[in-house]
């Protein structure tokens, strides 16, 4: 059931003004639908509901089947779901229209049955369809089953243009959003501390995931922000490893990539630590390299810094470290130019985070992801600005699929010591990830309270 939104009405009002101002439309209208629950095929159940981020950003509401509409004459109009009495038996009563007005700061709040008339009045005018587009395919779920007969004329060019503007607005987090993101980071910290304390030989990845997620919820999370990753030993080299029932063994590293959803905002943190509580000398060497590079990258988060440049800087520093460790051979810059580093760090340095874990607006509208091996999984390409919240998450992996690939072995025969790399397959992989606010000055690390130096990790594991 909907509770009072975490973002106060005056802040939601600012979101709406910012977005409507950038839309700058003179006719027609906009629909921003919340989305409908997604059925689990073959059952009478549904997947956990996820409200569309644009609808949430503008209303603070997360109730399925609701719609925010906009037109240049009336401004924003909200269509709230009023349950039938049978639904109230199963789901409880929804908030009254006045309660919704108070929560959202919206004045024009009507029962959802009025949506039909709103669309009918704009028949054959250009309409942009933002939010969840399931309103076009499942209009009955929004109580407008006659949508086809209403001659709703979507202007797809307008939809694309307006979607870009709302993504741009969502990039810069305001103080009300940052407050919630700090709460999310606090829940995330508690879960990671519990993981470090609880992990022990014989425990399974799945058992540890349960502990982490339980702690998130105790600290106010509604649910995990994404599928929790717990990966020990070789599994650490599988980038999105679903926890298995494989027991931890002393000598292995465990990588935990887990975040919490608190009041609609996400956290996303990764830490790697030893099952035994003590790093081996080899683990220390590789971990220290990654930590130094991660800390340098976090400290470089400043207005004007191009995130793609920061990613490439990290690649060069990781390549330099891998040369020192005898795994790569050559000049770090030229190794990165030919993507040799990407065998060991194939993913991007990070992404924007907010209402979504991989938040909208990562790429500027006129930039495209590269198809280069070392850049194709980079989720962000733009200059940083104050109010951006980004993850900084370099990793180092010894990935069987890449190291045993005959084409890559041929291509990088002169650059990679494959024997040395293969000896590290059991090392698996490590990643260090923090959530960082770009400010006018020093970056603020939302997740700074989660141990990441070797001393702090070994202490937290005791």
243-272: which residues touch Mn ion (CB under 5 A)?
268
Nearest to 201 by CA among 118, 274, 287: 274
Among 228, 235, 255, 391, binds Mn ion (CB under 5 A): 391
In angstroms, give the least distance from the CB of 392 to Mn ion: 9
Stretch binding Mn ion (CB under 5 A), from 272-280, 391-399, 413-421, 443-451 = 391-399
Q: Determine the 3-state secondary structure of 305 from DSSP.
A: coil
Tell me whether residue 5 or residue 354 sits nearer to Mn ion (CB atom): 354
Q: Which residue has the tokens 């990290």?
A: 314
Q: How far is the CB of 259 from Mn ion (least distance, A)?
A: 8
Beta bridge partners of 32: 68, 130
Q: Which residue is nearest to Mn ion (CB)?
A: 268
Least gap, CB of 448 to Mn ion (angstroms): 16
Please say which residue, 105 or 348, places its beta carbon nearer to Mn ion: 348
Please give the Cα distance from 62 to 75 (Å, whole number): 21
How many other β-carbons are positioned within 10 Å of the β-carbon of residue 169?
Answer: 23
Task: Provide the minimum distance between the beta carbon of 371 and Mn ion in the complex, in angstroms, as a whole number.
Answer: 22
End-to-end CA gap in the chain: 40
Complex with Mn ion: residue 104 or 391, whichever CB lies closer: 391
Q: Based on CB atoms, which residue is closest to Mn ion, 51 or 269?
A: 269
Cβ at position 388, least distance to Mn ion in Å: 15
Binding mask 266-305 for Mn ion (x = CB under 5 A): --x-------------------------------------
What six digits make up the tokens of 140?
């009955």
In the complex with Mn ion, the residue whose CB is nearer, 276 or 391, is: 391
Instruction: For Mn ion, give the closer residue by CB, 143 or 359.
Output: 359
Number of residues that bind Mn ion (CB under 5 A): 2
CB of residue 433 vs Mn ion: minimum separation in angstroms? 5
Site string for Mn ion, 399-428 (x = CB under 5 A): ------------------------------
Q: Which is nearer to Mn ion, 268 or 359 (CB)?
A: 268
Q: How far is the CB of 294 from Mn ion (least distance, A)?
A: 13
Shortest separation between residue 381's beta carbon and Mn ion, angstroms:
16
**Which segment (221-229, 238-246, 385-393, 443-451) binds Mn ion by CB under 5 A?**
385-393
Give 78's strand partners.
68, 109
Task: Supply 298's token pair.
Answer: 């976090």
Report the nearest approach of Mn ion to the CB of residue 133 (Å): 26
Among residues 205 and 268, whose Cβ is nearest to Mn ion? Answer: 268
Q: C-alpha angle 313/317/319, rounded to 5°?
A: 115
Three-state DSSP class for residue 122 = coil
* Torsion of Cα atoms, 134 then 139 then 140 then 145, to 10°: -170
Closer of 60 and 362 to Mn ion (Cβ):
362
Nearest alpha-carbon partner for 58 in 175, 147, 140, 167: 167
CB 363 → Mn ion: shortest distance, Å? 16
Residues 59-118 that bind Mn ion (CB under 5 A): none
- Window of 9-17, 23-31, 175-183, 388-396 that interacts with Mn ion by CB under 5 A: 388-396
5 or 350: CB nearest Mn ion? 350
Q: How far is the CB of 444 from Mn ion (least distance, A)?
A: 18
Which residue, 294 or 391, is less far from Mn ion as judged by CB? 391
Q: Would you count residue 183 as binding Mn ion (CB under 5 A)?
A: no
Query: Of 355, 357, 329, which is closest to residue 343 (Cα–Cα)?
Result: 329
Identity of the residue, 268 or 339, whose beta carbon is nearer to Mn ion in the bound complex:
268
Q: Binding segment for Mn ion among 165-173, 177-185, 301-309, 387-395 (CB under 5 A)?
A: 387-395
3-state SS class at 365: coil
Q: Running DSSP on this structure, what letter comes out for residue 379?
A: -
CB environment 250-289: b (16+ within 10 A), e (fewer): eebbbbbbbbbbbbbbbbbbbbbbbbbbbbeeebeebbeb
Q: What values do phi and psi take at 109, rounded to 5?
A: -120, 120
Q: How far is CA 330 from the centre of its chain?
A: 35
Is 387 in contact with 169 (CB distance < 8 Å)? no
- Least distance to Mn ion from the beta carbon of 351, Å? 6
User: With CB under 5 A as the contact rule, which of the stretches 76-84, 213-221, 336-344, 384-392 interacts with Mn ion?
Assistant: 384-392
| Of 407, 408, 282, 393, the residue nearest 343 (C-alpha) | 408
- DSSP-derived secondary structure for 228-289: -EEEEGGGGGSTTPPP-SPBP-TT-EEEEEE-EEETTEE--EEEEEETTSS--HHHHHHHHH
Interaction site with Mn ion (CB under 5 A): 268, 391
């Amino acid at each position: 059931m909907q509770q009072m939104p975490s973002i106060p009405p005056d802040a939601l009002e600012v979101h709406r003004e910012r977005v409507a101002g950038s839309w700058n439309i003179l006719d027609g209208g906009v629909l921003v639908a919340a989305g409908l629950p997604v059925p689990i095929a073959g059952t009478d159940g549904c997947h956990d509901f996820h409200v569309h981020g644009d609808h949430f950003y503008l209303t603070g509401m997360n109730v399925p089947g609701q719609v925010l509409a906009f037109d240049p004459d009336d401004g924003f109009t909200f269509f709230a779901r009023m349950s039938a009495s049978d639904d109230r038996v199963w789901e409880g009563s929804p908030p009254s229209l006045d309660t919704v007005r108070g929560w959202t700061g919206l004045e024009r709040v009507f029962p959802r049955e009025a949506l039909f008339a709103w669309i009918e009045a704009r028949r054959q005018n250009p309409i942009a369809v933002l939010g969840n587009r399931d309103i076009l395919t499942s209009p009955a779920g929004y109580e407008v089953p006659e949508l086809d007969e209403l001659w709703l004329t979507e202007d797809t060019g307008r939809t694309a243009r307006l979607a870009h503007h709302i993504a741009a607005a969502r990039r810069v987090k305001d103080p009300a959003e940052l407050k919630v993101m700090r709460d999310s980071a606090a829940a995330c910290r508690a879960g990671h501390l519990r993981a470090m304390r609880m992990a022990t030989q014989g425990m399974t990845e799945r058992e540890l995931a349960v502990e982490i997620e339980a702690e998130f919820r105790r600290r106010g999370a509604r649910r995990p922000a994404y599928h929790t990753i717990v990966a020990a030993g070789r599994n650490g080299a599988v980038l999105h490893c679903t926890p298995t029932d494989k027991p931890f063994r002393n000598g292995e590293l465990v990588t935990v990539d887990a975040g919490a959803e608190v009041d609609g905002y996400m956290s996303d943190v990764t830490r790697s630590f030893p099952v035994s509580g003590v790093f081996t000398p080899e683990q220390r060497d590789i971990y220290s390299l990654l930590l130094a590079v991660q800390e340098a990258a976090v400290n470089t988060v400043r207005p004007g810094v191009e995130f793609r440049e920061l990613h490439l800087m990290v690649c060069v520093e990781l390549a330099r470290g891998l040369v020192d460790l005898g795994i790569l051979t050559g000049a770090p810059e030229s190794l990165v130019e030919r993507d040799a580093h990407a065998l060991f760090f194939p993913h991007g340095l990070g992404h924007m985070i907010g209402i979504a874990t991989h938040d909208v607006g990562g790429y500027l509208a006129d930039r495209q992801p590269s198809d280069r091996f070392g850049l194709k999984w980079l989720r962000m390409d733009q200059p940083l600005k104050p109010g951006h919240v980004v993850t900084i998450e370099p990793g180092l992996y010894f990935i069987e699929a890449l190291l045993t690939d005959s084409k890559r072995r041929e291509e990088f025969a002169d650059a990679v010591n494959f024997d040395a790399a293969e000896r590290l397959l059991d090392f698996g992989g490590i990643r260090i990830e923090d959530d960082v606010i770009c400010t006018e000055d020093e970056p603020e690390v939302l997740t700074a309270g989660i141990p990441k130096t070797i001393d702090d990790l070994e202490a937290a594991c005791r």
